[in-house]
Amino acid sequence: MDLNFNKNEDHNKLLLSDLRQKFTKVKLGGGEKRIQKLHSEGKMTARERIDYLLDKGKRIEIGGFVGEGMYAAYGGCPSGGVVVKIGYIKGRQCIVVANDATVKAGAWFPITAKKNLRAQEIAMENRLPIVYLVDSAGVFLPLQDEIFPDKEHFGRIFRNNALMSSMGITQISAVMGSCVAGGAYLPIMSDEALIVDKTGSIFLAGSYLVKAAIGENIDNETLGGATTHCEISGVTDYKAKDDKDALDKIKNIFNKIGDYDKAGFSRIKAAKPSLDENDIYGILPKARNEQYDMMEIINRLVDNSEFEAYKDGYGQTIITGYARIDGWAVGIVANQRKVVKTKTGEMQFGGVIYSDSADKATRFIANCNQKKIPLVFLQDVTGFMVGSKSEQGGIIKDGAKMVNAVSNSVVPKFTIIIGNSYGAGNYAMCGKAYDPRLIVAWPSAELAVMGGTQAAKVLAQIEASALKAKGEIVDETKEAAIFDKIKARYDEQTSPYYAASRLWTDAIIDPLETRTWISMGIEAANHSPIETKFNMGVMQV
């Protein structure tokens, strides 16, 4: 290995170490004292409940860094106050949503609602069974105006409950703590509801509010405890003696669920890449503007390191071709990061989408839709090529074709942000706005309209001009200070953690977890047969 490889490896492993340290802190939720308080009440934490419920083995977490750096004035909201994982119960793939009562008693912040809606979206797109482990004090009142009335706010969750019921998607709820006000509708709109004796409670208004509203004196247990709802109101279907008993009952229910209709995506026996996956750390460059060969990454992600290239010699700044990941057939669309030379001798910048690259990708996406092959996008893109030659060559038209193809694609799409994800390149390579079933970032990822240095130069020039117009003296030192300040702010916003905290991506992952995410994602998508046809008219745009 050369010196550059070793430098890259050290850098990327430091990023991975930082990721693990941050996530270790996130997993503590509201902190060790609050965890101990739950345990003293005979309750398990959200993560302990999920770990006990899911089968041992493969599982992935959605939105682990949601809320990172947000709501500082209120003490923060680690993981959005809710834990979401995709895994298996009795061998049946599902998604589990658990309120974290160590974070403001499980109260719903605006980002909590967004994360819950994302979990429901995954369940609906893939027709996955969903389990809710409820332990929440309800809406976080200081921010109620940001969570209550709008289309993508709290009420959308109950609307989705109803839609999933009509779609035949299994929904099971276990009330393992508080379940109050509007939140009380979630478990009761599920197919089956359990409640834990003495610790679980469901009511539209607690005892204090009942006293204030109608003058009735009553305790919470009598008002909405397990005995009330299992033996008097009939609101819940099962009474559990403790958390583990409730989770065991869910396991027993899952053990009897019938099989599902399959989309029929191709899968054979899985094989590991023949090249060492660990080499990825040394191949991926430390600096985001450095060149590397994306095929070296692909060959360490796909089974047997086998890749069948499509239009290999044409449109070379995008790689397209067929492979298998964990046995699943996939079509890969990836940005090529090295400078390439066309047959006419023209040099093309790596990571930039040219007209020929967009045309190739459009045709390949159509082919994958025709053959019912899931698509995997590997993003390291700075955008579309600019300049008079590109404009006269129809880059806007060819870019529109590619965006149209991505938009109209009916096979499941999965997006991995490896490096840069800038501007319209993010869109064409299936960014969050284009409905990938799952979208994740490596620690090396950056998401922005443009790179930090370029953006800071533009913004610094504008600010310096404005100051000069006011009569202020702006020398080189002042200009440098303006640039550094803007770039620091911009770099923070391009960080993968900034994106993950706002759920622009589902997770930040170790590159070596990429195969697991794609495999579990396609397995989930296989629950949902494709019902519409790809619009081939896109080819004539």
Contact by Cβ (8 Å): 540, 347 = no
| DSSP-assigned letters across all residues of 50-118 | HHHHSPSS--EEE-TTTTTT--GGGT--GGGGEEEEEEEETTEEEEEEEE-TTTGGG-B-HHHHHHHHH
CA–CA gap between residue 8 and residue 219 (Å, rounded):
62
Highest mean predicted confidence (pLDDT) among 12-26, 141-155, 446-460: 12-26
* pLDDT score, position 400: 93
Taking Cα atoms as reference points, which of 202, 154, 155, 157 lies closest to residue 176? 202
Which of the residue ranges 117-131, 139-153, 203-217 would you say has the lowest mean pLDDT?
Answer: 203-217
Rounded-to-10 torsion of CA 251, 255, 261, 264: 80
CA–CA gap between residue 483 and residue 495 (Å, rounded):
18
Q: Tell whether the model's pLDDT for residue 458 goes beyond 80.
A: no
For 203-248, what is each residue's pLDDT tens digit?
A: 887 777 888 888 888 888 888 899 999 999 999 999 999 999 999 9
Question: To the nearest whole number, what is the mean pLDDT of the chain?
Answer: 92
CA–CA gap between residue 383 and residue 426 (Å, rounded):
7
pTM (two decimals): 0.93
Grade residue 540 by pLDDT with cuts at 50, 70 and 90: very low
* pLDDT score, position 409: 96
Taking Cα atoms as reference points, which of 86, 156, 167, 159 lies closest to residue 124? 167
Contact by Cβ (8 Å): 67, 77 = yes
Grade residue 451 by pLDDT with cuts at 50, 70 and 90: low
| Coil vs helix vs strand at 308 | strand
Grade residue 533 by pLDDT with cuts at 50, 70 and 90: confident
To the nearest 10 degrees (0 to 180), the angle between helices 110-126 and 155-167 is: 10
Taking Cα atoms as reference points, which of 55, 174, 160 lies closest to residue 118? 160
381 vs 459 pLDDT, higher one: 381
Angle at 11 between CA 8 and CA 17, to 5 degrees: 135
CA–CA gap between residue 27 and residue 7 (Å, rounded):
31
Q: Tell whether the model's pLDDT for residue 379 goes beyond 70.
A: yes
Across the range 61-83, mean pLDDT stands at 97
Taking Cα atoms as reference points, which of 444, 484, 440 lies closest to residue 464? 484
Taking Cα atoms as reference points, which of 133, 90, 93 lies closest to residue 256? 90
Across the range 338-350, mean pLDDT stands at 85
* pLDDT score, position 534: 73
